[in-house]
Amino acid sequence: MTNLRTKMVLIGCLTLVGCAHAYEKPSLLKSTVVSYADATTTAENWGSFSTYLTQDTVGTRDSLVATATIKPGQEIHPPHAHAEEEYLYIVEGEGTWFLNGKSFPAKAGDFLYAAPWDYHGAKNTGSVPLTFVVWKWNGAGITPPKEPLGNGAGE
């Protein structure tokens, strides 16, 4: 009986340790420099996408830092909405911003901020590739807002 009890206690402890390890928070991003050569770049029909960082930081989670280069006449996808906040900054080229059902001219040096669940996007309407930087995240310790009922483009 003692051997069985000892084995059960040991199994229970190992299970708890294993479960605790499985629920550890991922390590937070430390200060770093990421070169283009270290980014993960994928070629797509519409252009290319380079992912630099996706790790949580002290103040963010569900983060994405990337660049996209869109061929003339193309877009990554139609305007869309999500729970994360997002910044877009055009490095070169020109096109059209889409924000909550409205269109705006977009050119190098322009910046777009999309609040959670706001419909947004960009299309290259120019004759040369359009490159932009994207920062997308949720705030650490802040529950992302739920999708509003009836959320649709232009609402």
The two three-digit tokens of residue 132, written as one number:
């932009």
Residue 74 carries which DSSP code?
Answer: -
The tens-digit pLDDT sequence of the chain (155 residues) is 555 554 444 444 444 444 444 445 568 989 999 999 999 999 999 999 999 999 999 999 999 999 999 999 999 999 999 999 999 999 999 999 999 999 999 999 999 999 999 999 999 999 999 999 999 999 988 888 888 866 555 44
Helices (H), 58-98: none
**pTM, two decimal places:** 0.77
Fold of 36-139: Jelly Rolls (2.60.120)
Residue 143 carries which DSSP code?
Answer: P
The two three-digit tokens of residue 127, written as one number:
């004759």
